[in-house]
């Protein structure tokens, strides 16, 4: 039994999420998972219609009545402020305390990797990005705004509890998934207060996991190594800002936005899964959006719901689609969103 809240959202979210649901319903029918789905009308259309972004009672329902949330994409040129996206996505991250942003960087087919001489054996990392504090809390201020003397302060929040729980989540994952190592990445040589805390907490937590090799890289070195020698890297844990940046680098290494899924997770509680890409207004409504990132996100959701073997099956099926060129235009194929899904379901 698992209750899943579904928010297709904006743009191509409305095209890829129904395809993800077809895959989930197929697996549910086959394996008797007891999945139930409830759709929520949230996104730009709703905001433009009645001003609603994220009703508090819906957030409370997410917390109390659901095991997972499946989100398509949020973003619409008619809402330049993106206020609805902020309220829905950032609102969920903070109010549901989804402190793990989990971003696998797994290359499923060598031909989509921009690195010379690197293939799926070399590009297989998992990034744990801290998702609730760091530089993205909005704490700070502006002084003498708009004048030549303007001062703008953006403060980075690092709490002992926040740092410890994300580092611990990375080690727990490494142990459960039998991964090779955990790398913590910060900028402690320049950010001497907050990242000194990361250094100390990392050492303390690592000592509790003597079975898992661990090491540290400054984030500039991490970026270089992801490109130069990705095979050195396995599980990576880092701050909110640095995680944001290196996971987009990672998406490029694994074949682009159409092949990247992500989870916003509070282990053991309701968590949110989504493709990494946005609403892609330029191709919305044409039936050509790549649904594979959504499939990978659905796979991550199934692992969260206790079915890791089904995530592996979805990954294998995506691998099969890629190998046979059963992909949409932006990956060099000619299939529609629906046809890609049909091919994938026939593999499952
Ligand atoms: P948003 O404001 O919602 O983030 P965006 O257009 O700025 O939207 P993305 O939607 O992430 O950013 O994508 C950038 C471009 O990449 C899109 O305009 C689109 O051309 C392409 N793209 C993204 N996702 C997909 C996909 N699933 N299938 C095909 N092309 C995609």
Query: Using one digit for the tens of pLDDT, what is the confidence trace for 268-312?
Result: 999 999 999 999 999 999 999 999 999 999 999 999 999 999 999
Catalytic residue among 209, 218, 248, 338: 248
pLDDT band at 39 (very low <50, low <70, confident <90, very high): very high
Say yes or no: 146 and 246 in one domain. yes
Nearest to 25 by CA among 302, 317, 264: 302
In a domain, 76, yes or no: yes
Strands 235-238 and 214-218: unpaired
Nearest to 259 by CA among 299, 210, 221, 220: 299
Say yes or no: 118 and 97 in one domain. no
In a domain, 109, yes or no: no
Say yes or no: 92 and 118 in one domain. no
In a domain, 108, yes or no: no
Backbone angles phi, psi at 251, to 5 degrees: -60, -40
Say yes or no: 98 and 122 in one domain. no
Say yes or no: 152 and 249 in one domain. yes
Q: Which of the listed residues 206, 238, 253 is the one where a domain comes to its end?
A: 253
Q: How many structural domains are present in the chain?
A: 2
Residue nearest atom 9 of ligand 1, based on CA coordinates: 278
In a domain, 130, yes or no: yes
pLDDT band at 152 (very low <50, low <70, confident <90, very high): very high
In a domain, 107, yes or no: no
Residue nearest atom 13 of ligand 1, based on CA coordinates: 280
Exposed e or buried b per residue across 268-295, where buried means at least 16 C-beta atoms within 10 angstroms of its C-beta:
eebbbbbbbbbbbbebbeeebbbbbbbb
Say yes or no: 123 and 188 in one domain. yes
Residue nearest atom 29 of ligand 1, based on CA coordinates: 289
Say yes or no: 232 and 302 in one domain. no
Query: Using one digit for the tens of pLDDT, what is the confidence trace for 297-309?
Result: 999 999 999 999 9
13 Cα–ligand 1 center, Å: 10
Length of the chain: 348
pLDDT band at 215 (very low <50, low <70, confident <90, very high): very high
Which domain does 4 fall in, by range? 1-102+260-348
295 Cα–ligand 1 center, Å: 16
Query: Using one digit for the tens of pLDDT, what is the confidence trace for 41-62?
Result: 999 999 999 999 999 999 999 9
Helical residues (DSSP H) of 83-179, grouped into ranges: 83-85, 91-95, 160-176
Which of ligand 1's atoms lies nearest the C-alpha of 280? 10
Nearest to 238 by CA among 220, 256, 252, 255: 220
Say yes or no: 166 and 225 in one domain. yes
In a domain, 304, yes or no: yes
**What does the alpha-carbon distance between residue 170 and residue 176 come to, in Å, rounded to a whole number?**
10
pLDDT band at 266 (very low <50, low <70, confident <90, very high): very high
Say yes or no: 270 and 338 in one domain. yes
Report the pLDDT value the prediction gives residue 254, as an integer from 0 to 100: 95
User: 154 is written with which tokens?
Assistant: 């953006």
Say yes or no: 198 and 325 in one domain. no
Query: What mean pLDDT, rounded, does the chain reach?
Result: 97
In a domain, 208, yes or no: yes
Report the pLDDT value the prediction gives residue 237, as an integer from 0 to 100: 98
Q: CATH number for the domain including 154? A: 3.40.718.10
Active site includes 149? no
Report the pLDDT value the prediction gives residue 185, as an integer from 0 to 100: 98
Q: Which of the listed residues 205, 224, 253 is the one where a domain comes to its end?
A: 253
Query: Using one digit for the tens of pLDDT, what is the confidence trace for 124-136?
Result: 999 999 999 999 9
Say yes or no: 123 and 240 in one domain. yes
CB burial of residue 172 (10 Å; 0-12, 13-18, 19+):
middle
Phi-psi region of 287 (alpha: psi -120 to 50; beta: other; left: phi over 0): left
User: 295 is written with which tokens?
Assistant: 């499939």
In a domain, 124, yes or no: yes
Say yes or no: 232 and 282 in one domain. no
Active site includes 187? yes
Q: Give me the percent of the chain exceeding a pLDDT of 70.
A: 100
**What does the alpha-carbon distance between residue 72 and residue 93 come to, in Å, rounded to a whole number?**
15
Against a cut of 0.85, is the pTM above it? Answer: yes
């Amino acid at each position: 039994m698992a209750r899943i809240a579904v928010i297709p959202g904006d743009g191509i979210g409305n095209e890829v999420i129904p395809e993800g649901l077809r895959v989930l319903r197929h697996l549910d029918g086959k394996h008797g998972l007891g999945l139930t789905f409830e759709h929520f009308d949230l996104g730009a259309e709703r905001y433009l219609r009645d001003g609603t972004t994220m009703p508090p009672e819906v957030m409370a329902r997410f917390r109390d009545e659901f095991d997972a949330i499946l989100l398509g994409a949020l973003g619409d040129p008619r809402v330049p402020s993106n206020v609805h996206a902020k309220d829905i996505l950032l609102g969920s991250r903070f109010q549901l305390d989804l402190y793990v942003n989990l971003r696998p960087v797994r290359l499923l087919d060598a031909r989509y990797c921009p690195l010379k001489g690197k293939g799926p054996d070399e590009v297989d990392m998992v990034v744990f990005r801290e998702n609730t504090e760091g530089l993205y809390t909005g704490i700070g201020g502006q002084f003498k705004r708009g004048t030549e003397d303007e001062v703008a302060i953006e403060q980075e929040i690092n709490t002992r509890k926040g740092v410890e729980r994300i580092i611990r989540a990375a080690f727990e994952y490494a142990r459960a998934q039998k991964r090779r190592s955990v790398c913590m990445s910060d900028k402690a040589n320049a950010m001497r207060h907050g990242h000194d805390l990361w250094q100390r907490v990392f050492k303390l937590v690592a000592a509790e996991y003597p079975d898992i090799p661990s090491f540290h890289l400054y984030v500039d070195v991490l970026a270089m190594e992801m490109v130069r020698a990705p095979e050195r890297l396995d599980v990576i844990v880092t701050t909110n800002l640095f995680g944001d940046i290196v996971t987009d680098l990672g998406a490029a290494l694994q074949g682009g936005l159409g092949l990247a899924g992500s989870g916003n997770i509070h282990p053991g509680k309701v968590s949110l899964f989504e493709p990494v890409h946005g609403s892609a207004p330029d191709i919305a409504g044409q039936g050509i959006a790549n649904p594979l990132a959504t499939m990978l996100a659905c796979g991550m959701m199934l692992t969260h719901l206790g079915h890791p073997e089904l995530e592996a099956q979805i990954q294998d099926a995506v691998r099969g689609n890629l190998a046979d060129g059963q992909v949409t235009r932006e990956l060099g194929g000619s299939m529609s969103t629906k046809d890609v899904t049909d091919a994938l379901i026939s593999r499952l």
